[in-house]
A and B are shown apart, each in its own frame.
Chain A
Amino acid sequence: MSWEIDYLALAPEIIIVVTMLGVLALDLVLPRPLKYWTATVGVLGLTFAAIPLIIMAVDDVGTRSMFEGSYVVDEFALVLKGLFLAAGYVTLLMSVSYIESDRYYQGEYYFLLLTSILGSVVMASARDLIILFIGLEVTTGPLFMLAGWRKGDLRSNEASLKFFILGVLSTAILLWGMSMLYGITGSVDLVTISDSVALIAGGSVPGFEPLLGLAILFIIIGFAFKVSAVPFHFWAPDTYEGAPTPVTAYLSVSSKAAGFVGLFVIVYVALPAAVDIWGPALWLLAALSMTVGNLAALRQENIVRLLAYSSIAQAGFMLVPFAAAAVSGGDQLAVGLEATVVYLVIYSVMNLGAFAVIIQGARRTGTGDIEGWAGLGKLDPRLGVLVAVFFFSLAGIPPLAGWFAKFIMFQSAITSGGPGGVWLAVIAAVNAVIAFYYYARVVKTVWFDAPAEGASEAEDAPVGSLGLAIALTAVATIVIGFYPPIATFFGEATRTLITAAGG
């Protein structure tokens, strides 16, 4: 039993907490025109928080386990913490000018955003049900408020309310599932749960299977809400459209990634023995999310709604390796995890970039309707090229990073070897073609259509932090596209989750 605290392992969380408090305190003393300094502090804080992560990544200590194994910093956790910090960092950069132009509550905005980042960073390390749940709620809770930040706008209110009600519902379902799991196994520690589940699934303790099945189903449904997988996606389009765009970007990347992390941790660490129950469920979620998300996206007129449905479909693609591995037998699980993490990393980069470009584009054209973006490529070629880069990357066209995400998804689905995996790959292949159509439609409007009469041609390059966010994501999208090992490196590192679980 070790109650020793490894302060290096906790340093990122501690630094984020200090930053949060610093932002709050600074907000009190700064005069209104200088409020944007709170953002600077937030950005600096996240930068500092990354330093201990890097130190831990390069040293050879290996897995750092605390609180009787409830809080673990292994390579899986490091990679995902890094992803959450980077995504949070880019979101902060995107927010600065957007929130400043809205003129209210800047300090609180950054405080809440940092809180959410803290929650997701905690989740990556959580190896017991309670910490996992707290991490998830700390991630989601602030977002209920952030979604309604544009309080003068009815849509924003609707976004917040819908998100809140469905979020609470999903939380309740998740908690119910978790409590049943605790009731069956008598433990909140995932590794202990895993042993008990293995006994039940192995048939040594008869009579518990139905309850176990129900518990797992509820947990899956709870997370399905968080990753907005069909049929639990109804909140996403409205919330995405109404929320401030940087918050939408954060929702579609970090919040979704947090859901995935929770799912990974629970099913890989606690439930590997019950793969027969959750495998088919995930298979179904993947197939439905891809198909429904893509078909619905075809008909969208608003660019943010389009990306909302696209992110639902992308969640489906992300589930593919995972589900294919699960339905094809347990020994493929590591490959599935790796592919899903690689997909998640690439998706985060390009989706954040897409949203950053949308913020700039909406500012440039004054509208979020796709039609209104006609001829943008002629008026502002640089922005037009960026739109093409991110949207074609999302569509998976080489040589942009998205191709590798799609590729590794297909690869792990095919190499899982079972018919379930192959069929899922075929469904994904058809969906990849459908998806291309609506991504290409945006590019078509931007490049092929004539600009509206009287549109100004003066270039208005994205400046400041938004420009930095766009530049970072664009460079990453192109570099990973040419040299994917950058992304697979993260995927390989996450294998520790499986080996730690004894898989």
Chain B
Amino acid sequence: MELFESGWGLTLIVFLPLVGALVNMAIPKTNETAVKQWSLFVAVVTFALSLLLVVNFDYGAGDRFQFEMNETWISAIGANFHLGVDGISLPLLVLSTFVMVLAIIYSWDHWEEPHNPRGFLSLMLILATGMNGTFLALDLVLFFIFFEVVLLPMYFMIGIWGDKSKRRIPGFSKEVETRLYASIKFFLFTLFGSAFMLLGFLALYFKSGDFGPRTFDIPELIELGTSGAFSGTFAFLVFGAMFLGFAVKVPMWPFHTWLPDAHTAAPTVGSVLLAAILLKLGSYAFIRISIPILPQEAENWAPAIAVLSVIGIIYGSLACLAQTDMKRLIAFSSVGHMGFVMLGISTLTDVGINAAIIGMVAHGLITGLLFFLAGSMSHRYHTREMSRLGGNQKLMPVMGAILAFTAFASLGLPGLAGFWGEFMSLLGAYNPLESLRAEYLGLFRTAMVLGAIGTVLTAGYMLWMLQKVNLGEPGEEWVGHEFHDADRYELTAWVPLMVLIVVIGFYPNVVFGATTDAVVSLVNTAFGEGAATTAAVTDVLGS
């Protein structure tokens, strides 16, 4: 298709939402219907474009960047406007455009104070530009820009529409509003990480000058990196600087502390987008940038990443068991789930990285849905305290059933999407990359065992939550209350997610079909031909 071959298709996917946001500003604030319809239209068109991309994508060449656009942007520093999509970024891009449509549908008549749909939807569209751009950027400067652009809209979403309750926070003499604390914490943590990430990028740029003209181009840097251009202390420090940026975004333990606050304080749609897409930017960056450009350092850092991931899994699960607030529990569960994603990446095998990608997609769908549900329930009960909820199944049968379904998906029930990521990531940890086996086989296998214990804990807290929220008799305070079960906007937003969770659960090739070639080629180029020995596993599992 001409639109994509010329590269303009990807550019449209990135910038259409931004244009949509600007047009929103021109619509009178009082004409809310027009604002909503227009925003939904923009999101649907963007999603349709990404579906066209899916149709036109050459799956036989999923390991190559396709539909590239490469124009000079800032010639003084050699930064180009370079976009492209391959098998790894395709599923994540579709996830991003898809969830955006659902989020706008959901928000149709769910507005948190102070209302103002025009502002909120414009911020969401700007966010979409940042997210889509991050998944498509093939230039480090461009990547950095999109990576940062997502911060501003999310900051305002949390700060303006967020949780207005007051909390005592250690280190503050007065009680502070949750939203204020969470929004600035979210921003500062990410900014701190990305400042160092930028230094890492610049160091790569500087070093690439030893082998030709200096470049920020990701494919070029990958080529240099796999030929061993970056090594020694230099590479170690660069990997560390980038690690800081990506690990905060994922977030990995111990950089995760912003996450429970931000997720809990954000308005429902904000939490959904945070969990479904924003967390993926960090783990995607590991796969797209860190591993292929600095493969030797990836091997050096892999054991440390594995250890932190496992701590994240166990810690996240235990923290969940200590929560009384339903939304906060779901937030902490993200720490655990992203731990599995990072454990998969740390194995540096094709199985592990495939696990990470399907884990990201699944987590996006499942946790996104969980946050939707948590939002809708607190909208009705005006509380998120699990001790006061209970008997939800009786009060709202449909919503209760969906919650049960999603909780089972989240705990990794086979046949639903959440299973593949956890299972394959543990499988990868059993047999990490060959060069890691000599020294660290024990470590990775221990990680596998601990991760497996983590899955049990995950099942534990998810069932515990279900029991508290869904089962039992409704509390006395709810007697006489009329509760509306899930309305049509909610169902329109949720049913597609549920369908996808089942489809991916039964037929993971929906994702693997795009990713496997790209991941195998990534592992083979980074760690030598034949490193991806277990490619067959995914084929077997898939068919």
Chain A positions within 8 Å of B, measured between CB atoms, are: 338, 378, 392, 397-399, 403-404, 407-408, 410-411, 414-415, 417, 422, 425-426, 429-430, 432-433, 436-437, 440, 444, 447-448, 483-485, 488, 491-492
Q: Return the contact of A407 from the options B141, B179, B183 (Cβ within 8 A).
A: B141
Q: Which residues of A contact B159 (CB under 8 A)?
A: 444, 447-448
What is the bound-complex CA distance between A60 and B76, given in angstroms?
Answer: 22
In the bound complex, residues from chain B placing their C-beta under 8 Å from that of A433 are 188, 191-192, 195
Beyond A414-B203, A415-B206, A444-B180, whether A397 also contacts B152 by CB under 8 A is: yes
A residues in contact with B58, CB < 8 Å: none
- Flag whether B434 is at the interface (Cβ < 8 A): no
Do A410 and B148 have beta carbons less than 8 Å apart?
A: no
Q: Is the interface of B mostly helix, strand, loop or mixed?
A: helix
Chain A contacts of B184 at CB under 8 A?
Answer: 437, 440, 444
B residues lining the A interface (CB < 8 Å): 73-77, 114, 141, 144-145, 148-149, 151-152, 155-156, 159-160, 179-180, 183-184, 187-188, 191-192, 195-196, 198-199, 202-203, 205-206, 209, 214
The answer to whether A399 touches B149, judged by C-beta atoms less than 8 angstroms apart, is yes
Selected from B114, B148, B188, B205, the residue in CB contact (under 8 A) with A403 is B148
Residue of B nearest to A491 (CB): B76
B76 contacts A485, CB within 8 Å?
Answer: yes
Contacts of B77 in A (CB 8 A): 407-408, 411, 488
* Contact A407 B195, beta carbon cutoff 8 Å: no
Which residues of A sit under 8 angstroms from B191, Cβ to Cβ? Answer: 432-433, 436
Task: Tell me the complex Cα distance, A433–B190, Å.
Answer: 9
Contacts of B141 in A (CB 8 A): 407
The distance in angstroms between the C-alpha atoms of A399 and B74, with both chains bound, is: 14
Chain B nearest CB from A343 CB (Å) reads: 13
> Provided the pairs A398-B148, A440-B187, A444-B180 are in contact, do residues A426 and B199 lie with their beta carbons within 8 angstroms?
yes
Please indicate the chain B residues that have their CB under 8 angstroms from the CB of A425 in the complex.
199, 202
Report, nearest first, the 4 A-B pairs whose CB atoms are least far apart: A488-B76, A429-B195, A414-B202, A448-B159
- Which of B77, B148, B151, B180 has the largest number of chain A CB atoms within 10 A? B77
Contact A485 B148, beta carbon cutoff 8 Å: no
CA distance A397 to B149 in the complex (A): 8
Question: How far does the Cβ of A319 sit from chain B's closest Cβ, in whole Å?
Answer: 18
Bound-state CA distance A385–B180 (Å) is 18
Q: A403-B148, A429-B199 are in contact. List 10 more A-B contacts (CB 8 A).
A: A398-B145, A407-B77, A425-B199, A437-B184, A444-B180, A447-B156, A483-B73, A485-B73, A485-B75, A488-B76
Residues of A within 8 A of B209 (CB): 415
Say whether, besides A398-B145, A408-B77, A417 and B188 are in contact (CB < 8 Å): no
- Residues of A within 8 Å of B214, CB to CB, are 415
CB neighbours of A392 from chain B (8 A): 152
Q: Which A residues are in CB contact (< 8 Å) with B205? A: 411, 414-415
Complex interface: chain A residues within 8 A of B151 (CB): 397
Q: A378-B114, A397-B151, A398-B149 are in contact. Are A484 and B195 (CB under 8 A)?
A: no
Would you list 30 pairs from A and B whose C-beta atoms are within 8 A, ordered by A residue?
A338-B76, A392-B152, A397-B148, A398-B144, A398-B145, A398-B148, A403-B148, A410-B202, A414-B199, A414-B203, A422-B203, A429-B196, A429-B199, A430-B195, A433-B192, A433-B195, A436-B187, A436-B188, A437-B188, A440-B155, A440-B187, A444-B159, A444-B183, A447-B159, A448-B160, A483-B73, A485-B73, A485-B75, A488-B74, A491-B76
A399 touches B199 (CB 8 A): no
Q: Which of B145, B155, B203 contacts A399 (CB 8 A)?
A: B145
Give CA–CA (A410, B188) in the complex, Å: 19
Give chain B nearest CB distance to A340 CB in angstroms: 14
Judging by beta carbons under 8 Å apart, are A448 and B199 in contact? no
When distances are taken between beta carbons in the complex, the residues of chain B under 8 Å from A484 are 74, 76
Q: A392-B152, A436-B191 are in contact. Are A447 and B74 (CB under 8 A)?
A: no
Q: How far is the CB of A453 from chain B (nearest CB, A)?
A: 16
Contacts of A429 in B (CB 8 A): 195-196, 198-199
With both beta carbons as reference points, the residue of chain A lying nearest to B156 in the complex is identified as: A447
Q: How far, in whole Å, are A484 and B202 apart by their CA atoms in the complex? A: 17
